[in-house]
Amino acid sequence: MKTDDLNKSSKTEKSGINSTPHEEWIELRKHLVGPEIKELSCLEERLDDPLTRATEVSRILPDAITLSVAKDNGISRALQPAIDQSVRISVTKNPQALAEAIFPALGPGIRKAIRATISAMFQSLNALLNQSFSIQGLKWRIEAFRTGTTFAEVVLFHTMVFQVEQIFLIHRKTGIVLQHVEVSGTQAKDPDLISGMLTAIQDFMNDSFEQKNGDEIETLRMGKDMSIWVEQGPQAIIAAVIRGRPPLELRQYYREMIDTVHRRYLKNLNEFNGDIVPFSVTKELLEDGLEQKISNKLNNRISPAFIIILLIIALASGIGAFTVFRQHIQFKRYVEKLKSEPGIVVLHADRKSRHYIITGLKDTLSRDERPMAREAGLNESKMVYQWEPYYALHPKLIKTRAVKWLKPPKTVDLILKDDTIAASGEASQSWIKHFCERAVLVPGINDYNISELKNTDLEKMDRTIQELSDIKIKFDSGKQVIDIQNHQLLQNAAEKIRILKNLSESLNIPLHVKICGFTDASGTEAQNSQISWTRAEKVLTYLTDYSINRENIVTEGKGIHPGAKPQDSEEASAIYRIVTFTATREEGIKK
C-alpha cells in the first residue's frame, strides 16, 4: 500500500469513518503476496550479508574447481596470473619461506654437484702436492719448462692414468644384466654374479643404515687402484669397473650414457620381462665407454671448473684478508678516538677470537661508546667492553655532574672556574640552601659562590610586608565591631600574614607583626586609647579564626590618629578610624 493510502486510512480512522474495506484489502494482500514478500526479504538479507555469501560460495567452490579442471581448465588459466603475482610478492617479501619449501627437492642435487666439484679439486691438488717435492716432480717441472705448459698440467697428464676394464648395463628392478662389455685380455667374472653383488650391497646399506629414498651407491673401492663407479637411472644402472685414478669428468660421461640408454630404449626397459635380446644393440654404446682410457681431453688439461674454484678461493682469501686488515685499521682508529674522549681511559685493547675486547675506566657521564663503534664501521655485536667506573675531573664532566646533582632551576646559571662553582640568577631559599650544602660534594669542586644569586623568597617576603601594610580596616564612629564590608580585607590580611610566617620559617628570619588601632579626634584621649586598643584586639581575634597563630603578633591602641583634627568633617574623620598592620623582619639570614 502506498504512503498516501496509509495516510488517508489513518485520517479516516481518526475521523471515525468505517475502515473495514481497507482492513480487508490489507488482509487480502497478505494472503496473495505475503509468502513472496517474505522470500524476497530473506533473499535480500542473504545478498546484503557478505558473511552469508562467502559461506555459500565456500560450499560450492571445490566442486566448481573440479568441474572446471575436468572440462577446459578455465579456472586454472584465470588463477595463473594471480598465483604468479603472489609468488613474486612472496619471494620479494619473504624469500626464506620459499627457499625452505623447495630445499628438500633441490638441496640433494645441489649438494651432490658441489661434492663432485670439490672431490675433483682435491684429487688434482693431492696429486700436485704429492709430486711437488720429489725427484719425479723435478722431472715434471723440467718438462713443463721445456714444453711451455704449466706444472699442474704436466702433473695431471702423468697422474690421471686409468683403464675402464668392464661396463655393465643392469636392469634396476630385477638386477638382470642387460649388456656387458670388457676390454680384451681382462679376466672377467660372471656378470650376473657382479650384478647380484651390487644389488645385495645396496639392499644391505638400505636395511642397515636406514637410507632414504634416492640415496644410492655411487662408488665401490677395492684395494688401491680398483673401483666400481655406479650411475643410477630410473629403469637401468651402469656399473663401470675402473683400474687406476680416473678423472671426475668420466663420471659425467657415464651420466650422459645412462640418459642416452633411457632415451633410446625406455619402452624396452618398461616392458622388460627377462628377455635381454632387445638390449644387444647397446653394446656399441657401452664399448665407447671403454675407449675413454685413451681420451686425451681427460688427461692433458686442467679443468676450467678447477681454475674457477682456485680463482674464487684466491678472491675470497683476498677479500677476507682485506676485510681483516680494514677492520684492524678501523679498530685502531676507534681506540684512539675513545682515548680522546673525556671520561674514558683505555688501558688495554686487543682482538680475541672474533671479538674486540676493550678494558679501562669510564665515567658514567662520558659519551656512549656504542654509537662511536658504529660510526667507525665496526660490528657492534663483536665489541666487548670491560669498564671500571670512576669520576673524571674533566671540566666538561664536572659541570655536567654538578647540573645533575644540584638540579638548578631554569632561572639559575652555573659557572665553573677552576675548582669553584658560582650560581647566578634567581632561586628560592630551599634551593640556595641545597646548593650550599651539596656543591662541595661534587667531585672536582672545592668551593662555591652565591654573590650573584638573588633569593626570590626574601624578595617575596619584602613584597608581602609592603602589601600587608597597605591593608586598612575601617570602623564607624564610636564603634568597635568589625563591619561585614571589612571581611574580605581581613581574609587578605590573614593570607599575607600566613605567607610571611611560612617565609620566616623557611628563611630562618625572625618576623614581628604589629596590629595598631587609631581613632578620630572626637572624644577624650583616654576613651580613644581604649577604643583603638579594643579595635586592634577585635582584628586579631578575627585573624585567629583563620588559623593565624598569635605568636610574634602584638596589638597596640594608638588613640587619636596623628593626622586627625577636631574640626574634621565626618567624611574626613572616617579616614582615621582604622586598624593598620606593620610587619618587620631582622636583616640577614640565619644559617
419 Cβ contact partners less than 8 Å away, ≥ 6 residues apart: 444, 445, 446, 447
**Helical segments of 94-147, H only:** 95-132, 135-147
pLDDT at 492: 92
pLDDT at 128: 53
- By the 8 A CB rule, do 345 and 323 touch? no
pLDDT at 424: 92
- By the 8 A CB rule, do 501 and 511 touch? yes
232 Cβ contact partners less than 8 Å away, ≥ 6 residues apart: 172, 216, 258
Residue 306 has pLDDT above 60, yes or no: no
pLDDT at 185: 64
Among 23-27, 274-278, 543-547, the range scoring the smallest mean pLDDT is: 23-27
pLDDT at 5: 44
Q: How far from the centroid of its chain's Cα atoms is residue 546's Cα?
A: 61
Q: By percentage, how much of the chain surpasses pLDDT 70?
A: 76
pLDDT at 273: 86
* Residue 360 pLDDT level (bands cut at 50, 70, 90): very high
pLDDT tens, residue by residue, 456-504: 888 899 999 999 999 999 888 878 788 788 889 989 999 999 999 988 8
Residue 582 has pLDDT above 50, yes or no: yes
- By the 8 A CB rule, do 499 and 464 touch? yes
Which of residues 566 and 102 earns the better pLDDT score?
566
72: number of Cβ within 10 Å? 10
Place of cell 671520561: 343
pLDDT tens, residue by residue, 84-94: 777 777 767 66
Please tell me the distance from the alpha carbon of residue 193 to that of residue 168, in angstroms, as a whole number: 11
How far apart, in Å, are the Cα atoms of 581 and each of 472, 476, 505, 515, 529?
7, 19, 20, 5, 17
CA angle 87, 89, 90 (to 5 degrees): 60
Please tell me the distance from the alpha carbon of residue 345 to that of residue 361, in angstroms, as a whole number: 5
pLDDT at 126: 54
pLDDT at 44: 76
Burial class (CB in 10 A: 0-12, 13-18, 19+), 559: buried
Q: Which of 574, 459, 450, 589 is nearest to 521 (CA)?
A: 574
- By the 8 A CB rule, do 514 and 582 touch? yes
DSSP conformation letters of 268-287: HHHT-SS--GGGGGGHHHHH
Which of residues 77 and 562 earns the better pLDDT score?
562
pLDDT at 512: 92
Q: By percentage, how much of the chain surpasses pLDDT 90?
A: 18
- By the 8 A CB rule, do 426 and 453 touch? yes
pLDDT at 108: 54
pLDDT at 125: 55
How many secondary structure helices (H) and strands (E) does the chain include?
A: 18, 16
Residue 312 has pLDDT above 80, yes or no: yes
Strands 420-427 and 453-455: parallel
SS (H, E, C) 450-484: CCCEEEHHHHHHHHHHHHHHCCEEECCCCCCCCCH
**Helix, strand, coil percent content, the chain, rounded in steps of 5:** 60, 20, 25
pLDDT at 485: 81
Residue 216 has pLDDT above 80, yes or no: no
**Rounded mean pLDDT, 233-241:** 85
pLDDT tens, residue by residue, 173-182: 888 888 888 8
pLDDT at 224: 62
* Residue 590 pLDDT level (bands cut at 50, 70, 90): very low
Residue 131 has pLDDT above 60, yes or no: no
Provide the β-strand partners of residue 355. 352
Provide the β-strand partners of residue 349. 358
Please tell me the distance from the alpha carbon of residue 69 to that of residue 398, in angstroms, as a whole number: 81
pLDDT at 121: 55
Residue 411 has pLDDT above 80, yes or no: yes
Residue 4 has pLDDT above 60, yes or no: no
216 Cβ contact partners less than 8 Å away, ≥ 6 residues apart: 202, 230, 232
pLDDT tens, residue by residue, 418-459: 899 999 999 988 898 899 999 999 999 999 998 899 988 888
**Rounded mean pLDDT, 333-346:** 91
Which of residues 563 and 114 earns the better pLDDT score?
563
pLDDT at 528: 87
Strands 219-222 and 226-232: antiparallel
Residue 413 has pLDDT above 90, yes or no: yes
**Rounded mean pLDDT, 87-106:** 62
Among 95-99, 379-383, 413-417, 501-505, the range scoring the smallest mean pLDDT is: 95-99
Q: How far from the centroid of its chain's Cα atoms is residue 591's Cα?
A: 55
Burial class (CB in 10 A: 0-12, 13-18, 19+), 455: middle
Residue 12 has pLDDT above 50, yes or no: no
State the DSSP code for 566.
T
C-alpha cell of residue 3:
504512503
Among 7-11, 135-139, 383-387, 494-498, the range scoring the smallest mean pLDDT is: 7-11
CA dihedral 99, 105, 106, 107 (to 10 degrees): 80
**Rounded mean pLDDT, 35-56:** 76
Place of cell 493510502: 5
Q: What is the three-class DSSP state of 181?
A: strand
- By the 8 A CB rule, do 323 and 370 touch? no
